[in-house]
Amino acid sequence: MNNQNLFVQMIEEHKQDYYRLAYSYVRNQADALDIVSESIKKGLLSMNKLENVDALRSWFYKIIVRTSLDFLKKHKRMTVSDHDTITYLQSGEHDDYMHFDLHDALAQLPLQYKTVILLRYFEDLKIQEIATVIDENVNTVKTRLYRGLKLLKLELTEGDEMDE
């Protein structure tokens, strides 16, 4: 199987993961879909630059993260989830109220911390894969993850104090 076929197969198998990652940056369905589409286009156009097919997954995550960040820089706008989006994402089987607090707290983090937390805990990438995605060394990823989790905890506990 050639690289392009592997790429297409990977996209088909993990399309929801890629959408979720893009959505976590822009918090808008249409924009997230645009980012994924643009990322796929970029991936197909630069497929010949991929030297190690084993790194296909982290290589494409890098494309999605960079495309998402480029989108945010280009549009520089505040993202607000509308009622339809929240309804669509919310599962009817259980109450996800707690997850709204988490997503709101994540949105407050600086992008460097948000990115490593999303990739580690929501996309289940290993530290080394994250380092490859964001072009940083492993120790920098570990430091950002540690600091990001501390900031996230602060955001979540401040939110709890405000509710009381």
Q: Which residue has the higher pLDDT, 30 or 78?
A: 30
In this prediction, residue 92 carries a pLDDT of 45
Mean pLDDT is lowest, of 1-15, 20-34, 93-107, for 93-107
Across 28-43, average pLDDT: 94
The pLDDT tens digits for 130-162 are 999 999 999 999 999 999 999 988 888 875 555
Give the residue from 50, 70, 89 where a domain finishes: 89
Q: Are residues 49 and 3 in the same domain?
A: yes
- If phi > 0 it is left, if psi is from -120 to 50 it is alpha, else beta; for residue 76 that is left
Q: Are residues 10 and 42 in the same domain?
A: yes
In this prediction, residue 43 carries a pLDDT of 92
Q: Are residues 126 and 161 in the same domain?
A: yes
| CATH code: domain of residue 99 | 1.10.10.10
Across 12-32, average pLDDT: 91
The pLDDT tens digits for 87-116 are 554 444 444 444 567 778 888 889 899 999
In this prediction, residue 77 carries a pLDDT of 52
In this prediction, residue 162 carries a pLDDT of 54
| Structural domain span for residue 160 | 94-164
**Number of domains forming the structure of the chain:** 2
CB 64 within 8 A of CB 22: yes
Q: Are residues 4 and 19 in the same domain?
A: yes
Distance CA 120, CA 126 (A): 6
How does the average pLDDT of the chain come out, rounded? Answer: 82
Angle among Cα 127, 124, 154 to the nearest 5 degrees reads 80
Which H/E stretch holds residue 28? none
Half-sphere exposure of 117 (CA within 13 A, CB side): 23
pTM exceeding the 0.75 threshold for the entire prediction: no
